[in-house]
Structure 1
């Protein structure tokens, strides 16, 4: 159990609710937050300073976005990695991954300090063991961990020497040593946090400048903070039970943006959980850091 639970303080972004909000990230060069509605095939763009919101339709289910440079982005989708022109929205399939498997889609992912991308795939109906976690560096694809049901919590320690991930179906937060220069594992994964009997599921995560892991908990409406040695430090309440993924936002990466979902909820459940699918910015200060660019 958490030593401390902090009541929600923050704002809901005035954007349409997502069926399955995921993959938030922040571009400090433009002050823009991005996130996805995976099932709706929509990419959201939100300028923090002005509150402006844009919705961009996608050609496939997308779930991870990374900056390449001022004009281009990488989007991980059910077909692989697309190169997207930021200004026009034009997309080109750059690195096919599971493109011939209509039963799977992309899910959680994040760029390592080396410029390589880790991201996971899963069955579109969360079929047991249907997915995997991949490492992609300059177009070279390496399958790291096959047999994953729901890949999540992919993030990296500040020095780039540790990677974290989970299979939400198993609900154990794993850590593995990686080469800081490449992002490739140098050891075997070990359990950092065993929450197999806990409430909800370990979902998306980010790691701050002190190595604290901020993890959204699906089904529990919270973002939980864990120390690098796996101690549960505190929980931040989120006003939507299916909280999915956090991202550091703001000019100093000092706040958390959190996505959520309403997938699988009936009218009675939505009436009890009216904020489901909304995207929030929490007031609680954090010592975040900005995501590196993906290197093509």
Structure 2
């Protein structure tokens, strides 16, 4: 059961990405990567707040200490919502200056998984990393545009996308170690953008230029998707007290003038209700 996606913030982000429900804030946080902005939407009153970021920022995820950990080009930084201040945490890929950080995810153990990519999308220089206990580890390499990552409800499978290949990959996961990489699913009708997983293990993949969200069972079986009034769904996140509201980011990046004229709300934040709840949001352990 789903209802019709509702536009709740018509902010027209160039590349809206990385929605995350933070229960302690009663808010959804997300970024505009190309616009270099961090956004907060209050779910109870529809309040909105925005901050400039130091550079292109792929995600902002909650930490246990009340800050947000942000994937800023060149490294991880913490953001304090009370002061609006960004503070460097650890450098990432100083040897790959053409890259930037893209999508990220917090595992139940408090570790942070995220991907990098060539900002021009020209080379296979993107990689998949884990940050835990102050240590940054590269777990996979050779991506053009990374997206995801996310983990199954039992924590035994980690999913990660290469968007331009329309591929969703799965890894066996145990204690922060990945093995047995394989192609889990391929999207049609759109590029495999960010993903999230519900409490039954169903994988929800945003379809960039696909006007919807693709859904895959844990077996890889294609399930009925969710149609969207915006063609560039970049990622969804489960939120609200019952975790049955999908908050979805979109973008106007790469769209021609005719498309932007016919779909003026591209780049907005949307929501819709679904039947199956998502998984609780974990916090980065610093």
TM-score normalized by the length of structure 1: 0.92
- State the secondary structure of the residue aligned to 2:87: strand
Answer whether contact 1:117 1:294 (CA < 8 A) is retained.
yes
- 1:100 CA drift (Å): 5.5
CA distance in 2, matches of 1:82, 1:227: 35
TM-superposed CA distance for 1:148, in Å, is 0.7
| 2:60 counterpart of 1:65 | yes
Question: 2:29 aligned with 1:34, yes or no?
Answer: yes
Q: Partners of 1:232 and 1:115 in 2: how far apart?
A: 30
1:99 Cα deviation (Å)? 4.2
Matched, 1:149 2:144: yes
Q: Work out whether 1:191 is the aligned partner of 2:183.
A: yes
Find the counterpart in structure 2 of residue 174 from structure 1: 169
Match in the other structure for 2:126: 131
Mapping for residues 152-231 of structure 1, pairs under 5 Å = 152-179=147-174, 182-185=175-178, 187-195=179-187, 198-231=188-221
Write the distance in 2 (CA, Å) between the matches of 1:12 and 1:99: 39
2:266 pairs with one of 248, 251, 276: 276
Deviations, residues 143-196 of structure 1 (Å, cap 9, x unaligned): 1111110111211011211100111122221111111xx3321x221111134x
Q: Which moved more, 1:124-133 or 1:148-157?
A: 124-133
Q: 1:247 aligns with which of 237, 240, 264?
A: 237
Partner SS for 1:29: helix
- Secondary structure of 1:24's counterpart equals strand
Deviates more, 1:35-44 or 1:231-240: 231-240
Change in Cα spacing, 1:53 to 1:15, as seen in structure 2 (3 Å) is: farther
Name the counterpart of 2:40.
45
SS of equivalent residue, structure 2 residue 259: helix
1:112 and 1:183 in contact (8 A); partners too: no
Other-structure match for 1:291? 281
User: What stretches of structure 1 move > 6 A for 4+ residues in a row?
Assistant: none
Paired residues of 1:26 and 1:249 also in contact (CA < 8 A): yes
**Which structure features the higher share of strand residues?**
2
Q: Which residue of 2 is the match for residue 3 of structure 1?
A: none
CA offset digits 1:13-42 (Å, max 9, x no partner): 224110001011010112110000000110
Distance in structure 2 (CA, Å) of the matches to 1:37 and 1:22? 6
- The CA distance in 2 between the partners of 1:20 and 1:274, in whole Å, is 14
8 Å contact 2:243–2:279 — kept in the other structure?
yes
Shift in alpha-carbon separation, 1:43–1:252, aligned structure 2, 3 A: same
The correspondence for 1:77, drawn from 55, 72, 78, is 72
Equivalent position of 2:51 in the other structure: 56
- The answer (yes or no) to whether the contact 2:13–2:268 under 8 Å persists in 1 is yes
Q: CA deviation at 1:231?
A: 1.0
* Range moving further from structure 2, 16-25 or 144-153: 144-153
d(CA) in 1 for partners of 2:237, 2:23? 12
C-alpha distance in 2 between matches for 1:272 and 1:62: 28
Deviation per CA, 1:77-101: give whole Å up to 9, x if none: 1111101112112111101102464
In structure 1, stretches of 5+ residues that fail to align are: 1-5
Deviates more, 1:7-16 or 1:154-163: 7-16
CA distance in 2, matches of 1:15, 1:184: 40
**5+ residue gaps, structure 2:** none
Q: Please, what is the CA RMSD of the aligned residues?
A: 1.6
How many pairs align?
A: 286
